[in-house]
Amino acid sequence: MNSRVKILVRGIVQGVGFRPFIYSLAKSLNLKGYVLNSSKGVTIEIEGDNCDTFLQRLPREAPPLSQIMDIEVIPMPYHGYQDFQIFKSEDEGSFTLVSADVSVCQDCFRELFDMNDRRYLYPFINCTNCGPRYSITKSIPYDRPNTTMSVFRMCTDCENEYHTPEDRRFHAQPNACPVCGPHVELRVKSEKLKINEKENPVKETIRLLKEGHIVAIKGLGGFHLACDASNEKAVNTLRLRKRKSNKPFALMAPDLNTVKKYCNVSREEENLLTSMKRPIVLLTKKEALLPEGVSPKNPCIGFMLPYTPLHYMLFYYPLNSELVTRHSLPVTNFYALVMTSGNIAEEPLVIHNDEAVAKLSGIADAFLLHNRDIFMRVDDSVVRIMEEKETEIRRYGNTEKSNISDSPSHRFGGSLSFIRRSRGYVPDPIQLHDEGPDVLGCGADIKNVFTLTKGSFAIPSQHIGDMENYETLLFFEESLRNLKSVYRVKPVALAYDFHPMYLSTQWALRQEDIQKVGIQHHHAHVASVMAERGMKEKVIGVSFDGTGYGTDGSLWGGEFLIADLKGFKRAGHLKYIPLPGGEVAVREPWRITVSLIRDAAGDEAISYLKSLDFIDTYGERKIQDILKIIDRQQFSPLSSGAGRLFDGISALMGVCDKNTFEGEAAIALEAIAVPGIVDDYPVDIQLREPLEIDFSQTVLKMIEDLCKGADKGTISAKFHNTLSTVIMRVVQRLSHVHSIKDVVLCGGVFQNMYLLERTMRNLSSIDMTVHIHEKVPTNDAGISLGQAYIIRERIKGAA
Query: DSSP of 179-248, one letter per residue?
Result: TTS--EEEEESSTTS---TTS-HHHHHHHHHHTT--EEEE-SSSEEEEEETT-HHHHHHHHHHH-SS-PP
Asked if 151 interacts with Zn ion (CB under 5 A), we say no
Asked if 749 interacts with Zn ion (CB under 5 A), we say no
Closest CA to 778 of 541, 426, 455, 567: 541
Q: How far is the CB of 168 from Zn ion (least distance, A)?
A: 7
Among the listed ranges 174-182, 438-446, 453-461, 521-529, the one in contact with Zn ion (CB under 5 A) is 174-182
Asked if 776 interacts with Zn ion (CB under 5 A), we say no
Nearer to Zn ion among residue 55 and residue 180 (C-beta): 180
Q: How far is the CB of 124 from Zn ion (least distance, A)?
A: 10
Nearer to Zn ion among residue 127 and residue 206 (C-beta): 127
> d(Cα 619, Cα 626) in Å, to the nearest integer?
11
Residue 684: which residues within 8 A CB-CB, separation 6 or more?
A: 693, 694, 696, 697
Nearer to Zn ion among residue 128 and residue 659 (C-beta): 128
Can you say whether residue 212 is alpha, beta or left, with left for phi > 0 and alpha for psi between -120 and 50 degrees?
A: left
- Which of 55, 68, 73, 155 contacts Zn ion by CB under 5 A? 155
Q: How far is the CB of 153 from Zn ion (least distance, A)?
A: 9
Q: How far is the CB of 130 from Zn ion (least distance, A)?
A: 3
Among the listed ranges 119-127, 430-438, 578-586, 627-635, the one in contact with Zn ion (CB under 5 A) is 119-127
Asked if 180 interacts with Zn ion (CB under 5 A), we say yes
Among the listed ranges 61-69, 172-180, 421-429, 502-510, the one in contact with Zn ion (CB under 5 A) is 172-180
Q: How far is the CB of 92 from Zn ion (least distance, A)?
A: 30
Nearer to Zn ion among residue 177 and residue 585 (C-beta): 177
Among the listed ranges 129-137, 210-218, 531-539, 656-664, the one in contact with Zn ion (CB under 5 A) is 129-137
> d(Cα 184, Cα 696) in Å, to the nearest integer?
61
The CA-based diameter of the chain, rounded to the nearest angstrom, is 96
Residue 330: which residues within 8 A CB-CB, separation 6 or more?
A: 316, 317, 318, 319, 320, 323, 324
Nearer to Zn ion among residue 105 and residue 744 (C-beta): 105
The 3-class SS string of 720-749 reads HHHHHHHHHHHHHHHHHHHCCCEEEEECHH
First-to-last alpha carbon distance for the chain, in angstroms, is 49
Q: How far is the CB of 57 from Zn ion (least distance, A)?
A: 23
Nearer to Zn ion among residue 180 and residue 606 (C-beta): 180
- Which of 13, 44, 51, 130 contacts Zn ion by CB under 5 A? 130
Asked if 300 interacts with Zn ion (CB under 5 A), we say no
Asked if 356 interacts with Zn ion (CB under 5 A), we say no
Q: Give the number of residues in contact with Zn ion, rule: CB under 5 A.
A: 10
- Give the angle subtended at the CA of 658 by the CAs of 350 and 501, to the nearest 5°: 60
Position 442, amino acid: C
Among the listed ranges 121-129, 291-299, 305-313, 657-665, the one in contact with Zn ion (CB under 5 A) is 121-129
Nearer to Zn ion among residue 107 and residue 679 (C-beta): 107
Among the listed ranges 120-128, 437-445, 559-567, 742-750, the one in contact with Zn ion (CB under 5 A) is 120-128
> d(Cα 102, Cα 108) in Å, to the nearest integer?
12
Nearer to Zn ion among residue 108 and residue 121 (C-beta): 108
* CB of 288 closer than 8 Å to CB of 319: no
CB atoms < 10 A from the CB of 783, how many? 37
Nearer to Zn ion among residue 70 and residue 159 (C-beta): 159
Asked if 220 interacts with Zn ion (CB under 5 A), we say no
- Which of 35, 42, 127, 655 contacts Zn ion by CB under 5 A? 127
List strands edge to edge, sheet with 41-48: 67-76, 3-12, 41-48, 32-38, 84-86
Asked if 26 interacts with Zn ion (CB under 5 A), we say no
Closest CA to 565 of 316, 786, 740, 390: 786
- Which of 74, 151, 179, 193 contacts Zn ion by CB under 5 A? 179
* CB of 547 closer than 8 Å to CB of 586: yes
Among the listed ranges 82-90, 156-164, 473-481, 567-575, the one in contact with Zn ion (CB under 5 A) is 156-164
CB atoms < 10 A from the CB of 236, how many? 15
- Which of 22, 105, 531, 727 contacts Zn ion by CB under 5 A? 105
Asked if 65 interacts with Zn ion (CB under 5 A), we say no
Asked if 276 interacts with Zn ion (CB under 5 A), we say no
- Which of 22, 108, 731, 785 contacts Zn ion by CB under 5 A? 108
**What is the C-alpha radius of gyration for the chain, rounded to an integer number of angstroms?**
28
Q: Indicate the helix (H) or strand (E) that contains 260.
A: helix 256-262
Q: How far is the CB of 45 from Zn ion (least distance, A)?
A: 29
Nearer to Zn ion among residue 108 and residue 755 (C-beta): 108
Asked if 112 interacts with Zn ion (CB under 5 A), we say no
Residues lying near Zn ion in the complex (CB under 5 A): 105, 108, 127, 129-130, 155, 158, 177, 179-180
